[in-house]
Structure 1
Amino acid sequence: MRLSALQKGLWGLAVIAIVGFVWLQITIRGEQQTEEHAFRANFELTDHKGMVQTDEDFIGRWMLVFFGFANCPDVCPTTLAEVAAVMDALGSQAAQVQPLFISIDPERDTPKELAEFIPHFDAGIIGLTGTADQIKRTSMTFRVYYEKIEEAASPDGYTMGHSSQLFLFDPQGGYVRAWTYGTPAEEIFSDLKMRMSL
């Protein structure tokens, strides 16, 4: 059966309407997700030098925040190396940015352990840890996932599964965005540099 010009036109309009509806739904969902992720940094943890630090200590500086653990074999060191590259690229503007590494493995990641781990990356990164309860509260604030996973080949017989995004907070402590694992340092740097210049 051949379609008349009118039928073809109506089918074309229907396709356009469907595409438009799908696009609208994606846009609305994206805006809702942005609103859902809008939050403020909020924590009270102990740094790798044994000093208690809160989010208020970093007001006035941008914060790059990553959750991980010192025994992580790949994701954490890779991300921290990217953060170090970003800090290096910032040059004199690096003083306006504070990178933070928050441990999700308080059982092993004591301040002493972090003091041995963090300097490998330089870049002024501050390692933060705390009690199991403090880490749980902090992870809920930042909406990150983590769990202990038994693994005989890992130190102490376990590893940690966890969210792997890198968060950015503005100088007032408000959430700006997050980059997924594997985002190149160049892309993070360009985005951050642009936001810092606004």
Structure 2
Amino acid sequence: MLRVIRISALLLLALVVGVWGYAWTTRGPDETLGEAFASRLAGIFGQELAVPSAGGGGMQLPGGITLGGAFELTNQEGRAVTDRDFAGRWMLVYFGFTYCPDVCPTELGTIASALDAMGADGEQVTPVLISIDPERDTPAALADYVGRFHPRMQGLTGTPEQVAAVARRYRVYYSKVQRPEMTTYLMDHSSFIYLVGPDGRVRSMFRPETSPEAMASAVTSQLRSGARPAS
């Protein structure tokens, strides 16, 4: 039995390394390594997701693709929360970390600007940052960070196991990066923004560099149409 487990682990490792190498050699000029890896992996284990053009509206998920669902995490107040605490609410969810030097603050700023542009409709949507760096992103650190972007933004963290579980449900890629010239580590990660419906399922996704105006328009359209998730 132990031999079977070892062989299975080696095969899985070989698969991941192979997909990583394939993503490295085939990624597009505007595609990050994390996005390429997640896309190639999705192509193996499920239908590959088409990616919206930068600046465009939200991308509807193809039939058969389901993202989102149950999770157990801790909010910026140090209180344990689950997906049930957000039931009945729309959310704009982003996976990032507080030490992120560029893309995370940019995308969180886009979420905040989009909600402001939506006016009263924006009140129906809760902005959420889920940390993929639980080692450093304590509730106190998240409370200080998310408040800089939007007064209603929720910061969620948890144990490494809890974070990994919710990342799998959203097919989020992330990995610690430690370079010789760095005094601390960074996190490489995919960078989509997810529009989550009142049932906890992802309705559409936004690529990095989507404009606040395009996001606001796409989210407003889905709120007003009562869009249902793909089945």
Shift of 1:94: 2.3
Distance 1:153 1:118 in 2: 29
The 5 A counterparts of 1:26-65 are 34-65=62-93
Instruction: Output the aligned Cα RMSD.
Output: 1.9
Judged with a 3 Å threshold, the aligned counterparts in structure 2 of structure 1 residues 30 and 66 are, in CA distance, closer, same or farther, namely closer
Deviates more, 1:93-102 or 1:176-185: 93-102
Judged with a 3 Å threshold, the aligned counterparts in structure 2 of structure 1 residues 98 and 30 are, in CA distance, closer, same or farther, namely closer
Question: What is the letter of the counterpart of residue 44 of structure 1?
Answer: E
Shift of 1:30: 6.4
Q: Does the CA-based 8 Å contact 1:169-1:175 persist in structure 2? A: yes
Residues 57-107 of structure 1: per-residue CA shift (max 9 Å, x gap): 111111110000000011100000000001111222222111110000000
Judged with a 3 Å threshold, the aligned counterparts in structure 2 of structure 1 residues 52 and 29 are, in CA distance, closer, same or farther, namely closer
- Equivalent residue for 2:39? none
Distance 2:176 2:64 in 1: 26
Which consecutive residues of structure 1, in runs of 5 or more, have no partner in the other structure? Answer: 1-27
- Equivalent residue for 1:79? 107
Runs ≥4 residues deviating over 6 A? 28-31
Distance 1:110 1:30 in 2: 32
- Equivalent residue for 2:163? 135
- What fraction of aligned residue pairs are identical, expressed as a percent? 40
* 2:67 counterpart SS class: coil
Shift of 1:36: 4.6
TM-score (norm 1): 0.79
Q: Does the CA-based 8 Å contact 1:148-1:159 persist in structure 2? A: yes
Out of 98, 110, 114, the position equivalent to 2:138 is 110
Question: What is the letter of the counterpart of residue 205 of structure 2?
Answer: A
Q: Whose radius of gyration is greater, 1 or 2? A: 1
Please state which structure has a larger fraction of its residues in helix. Answer: 1
Out of 185, 190, 194, the position equivalent to 2:217 is 190
